[in-house]
Amino acid sequence: MKIGFIGLGIMGKPMVKNLMKGGYTDVLVNNRSRAAVDEIVACGAAAATNEEIGRECDVVMTMLPNSPQVREVMLGEGGVGSFMKEGSVFIDMSSINPVASQEIAAELAKRGVEMLDAPVSGGEPKAIDGSLSFMVGGKQEVFDAYKPLLLTMGASVVRCGDVGAGNTTKLANQIIVACNIQALAEALMLAKKAGVDPQLVFEAIRGGLAGSTVMNAKAPMMIEGNDKPGFKIDLHIKDLNNALDCAHTVGSPVPMTAQVQEIFQWLHNREGGQKDHSAIAQYYEFLTGEKIGE
């Protein structure tokens, strides 16, 4: 099986490395940044143009920022989709609007190309160690055929429905994560203002009902004042914009999502967009004039 992989950013680069470690070594790659391509080529992949990837590969995989980039790479002038052969498969692991996934799938279907939308959760650390969670939309038989491929990069691969269901699930995931992070920052600041050590509050509640993967990952960062990005605020803004667009389309109320999006946007406007989304704590620190961890 020859695989094409487009998008070698903070997530894509470790993902394709794990793909190759998993035994899929016939890989062609392309990316805007040549340095990322060179790094993956040094691991045994081959550099290629989008046209070469479309013509030569049985499976094309993308890990790109948002819907416009996926649409352009696949369906734009000289896009990969125009060169893919009938019977080949496109797996988009980007987090995009599910409506866009369905539209791209419909265009590719006219050319005899199947599609899975397979966004991931876990951020850079899980991309590096190969333990991402994949949320997948597409036909059952296509999912079954390519689940082993995805398992080289993840610990969990679940089919959620037809094309678009993967990205709908990812939007639900991103809403829960965002609201969880906001609640965590709010709670730790309450503890600080009440004269209780936030570290001890974290240790006391992490094993109870309030405990979560989000808390375990982000509470230490808030307490330490560490905003080095594992998942950037600007990327979460993108995801929540897609969630709001989708919710408005289907008529689902999302008031909590709208509120946390406004806080993320406030941080973006104050040069916080490239910080980790746990830096939402800095919004509360600005309002109170106190640091959670001091």
pLDDT tens string 130-152: 999 999 999 999 999 999 999 99
* Tokens (6 digits) for 19: 């793909």
Query: Average per-residue pLDDT in the chain?
Result: 96
157, 256 contact by CB (below 8 A): no
Give the H or E element holding residue 89: strand 89-92
Contacts of 248 (CB under 8 A, 6+ apart): none
How high is the pLDDT of residue 231? 87
Cα torsion for 202, 205, 207, 212, to the nearest 10°?
Answer: -70
CA 108 remoteness from chain centre: 23
* Tokens (6 digits) for 232: 């950037």
pLDDT at residue 123 greater than cutoff 90: no
* Choice among 55-59, 122-126, 265-269 with the minimum mean pLDDT: 122-126
- Cα–Cα nearest to 117, from 80, 64, 49: 64
Q: Are strands 132-137 and 120-121 parallel, antiparallel or unpaired?
A: antiparallel
Q: Which residue type does 44 have?
A: G
Nearest 5°: the CA angle 62, 68, 69 is: 35
Q: What radius of gyration, in Å, describes the C-alpha atoms of the chain?
A: 20
Contacts of 279 (CB under 8 A, 6+ apart): 227, 233, 267, 272
* Tokens (6 digits) for 137: 């939309």
Q: How confident is the model at residue 272 (pLDDT cuts 50, 70, 90)?
A: very high
180, 277 contact by CB (below 8 A): no
Catalytic residue from among 17, 170, 218, 275: 170
Report the Cα–Cα distance between both ends of the chain, in Å, rounded.
54
Give the H or E element holding residue 127: helix 123-129
pTM for the predicted model, two decimal places: 0.90
Q: How far is CA 19 from CA 43, 56, 115, 125, 127, in A?
A: 11, 18, 19, 16, 11
pLDDT tens string 23-45: 999 999 999 989 999 999 999 99
Cα–Cα dist 83/130, whole Å: 30
Domains and CATH numbers, the chain: 3-163 (3.40.50.720), 168-288 (1.10.1040.10)
Does residue 275 carry a catalytic annotation? no
Q: Which residue type does 266 have?
A: W
pLDDT tens string 155-185: 999 999 999 999 999 999 999 999 999 999 9
55-69: average pLDDT: 96
Q: How far is CA 274 from CA 96, 222, 232, 235, 243, in A?
A: 19, 16, 5, 9, 20
- Cα–Cα nearest to 143, from 126, 127, 156, 162: 162
The structure tokens 């397979």 sit at: 118
